Structure 1
Amino acid sequence: MKYINAEAVFPKRLLDELQQYVQGDWIYIPAMKGARKAWGERSGSREALRLRNEEIRLAYTRGRSIEQLSSQFGLAYDTVKKIIYSKS
């Protein structure tokens, strides 16, 4: 989050109105709904984890044990178990 001077952004009329409520303090203006991306969407991490989890579920249905998958993917036994039994 960076500091932006309100005089550089808001029209005079709006700035005058805002100063009726806040003067000389910091104010946070949140992003519009839908403007933010969820964790990992920008970097691709979310998709990479989805694909990994899908691969783990598929391997489990083909007979791999939770212990084998835990070792193969470098995950804790309980983490693999959660992935396998989760709905998505």
Structure 2
Amino acid sequence: MSRYRNARDVLPESLIREIQKYVRGEHLYIPQTERTEWGARSGARAELERRNKDIVQHYMDGIAIAELAERYHLSEERIRGILYEEHRE
């Protein structure tokens, strides 16, 4: 989702000249001052958290790891990782 913008569209000419003293004709990354966590904006993070809680609950209800892996289309190792992560918290 990387979008490049022309500096002339967003920066004053005086600032562009100052930056050109240090960098000419190269791509320059300017980090954000505040970042949102992965998936926070799209809702993907919340969806995965809900799925993981469901997996833990199903496991506690007696559903086997192999069945959970098949049901959620994950490897048994990933199911174990989810169960371990939830247990640590």
Give the structure-2-normalised TM-score.
Answer: 0.73
- Cα gap change, 1:83/1:14 in structure 2, threshold over 3 Å: closer, same or farther? same
Shift of 1:3: 3.5
**In 2, Cα distance between the equivalents of 1:25 and 1:71?**
48
User: What's the CA shift string for 1:19-73, capped at 9, x where partnerless?
Assistant: 32223333221222x2x32222222111111111111111212222212222222
Asked if residue 5 in structure 1 is aligned to residue 1 in structure 2, the reply is no
Structure 2: 5+ residue runs without aligned partners? Answer: none
- Which residue of 1 is the match for residue 56 of structure 2? 57
Structure 1: 5+ residue runs without aligned partners? Answer: none
- Which residue of 2 is the match for residue 67 of structure 1? 66
Give the structure-1-normalised TM-score.
Answer: 0.74
Identity %: 37
- Which residue of 2 is the match for residue 37 of structure 1? 36
Higher radius of gyration, 1 or 2: 1
**RMSD over aligned Cα atoms:** 2.1
Structure with bigger helix share is 2
**In 2, Cα distance between the equivalents of 1:20 and 1:43?**
39
Asked if residue 48 in structure 1 is aligned to residue 69 in structure 2, the reply is no
- Cα gap change, 1:60/1:17 in structure 2, threshold over 3 Å: closer, same or farther? same
**In 2, Cα distance between the equivalents of 1:17 and 1:60?**
60
Q: How many residues align?
A: 86
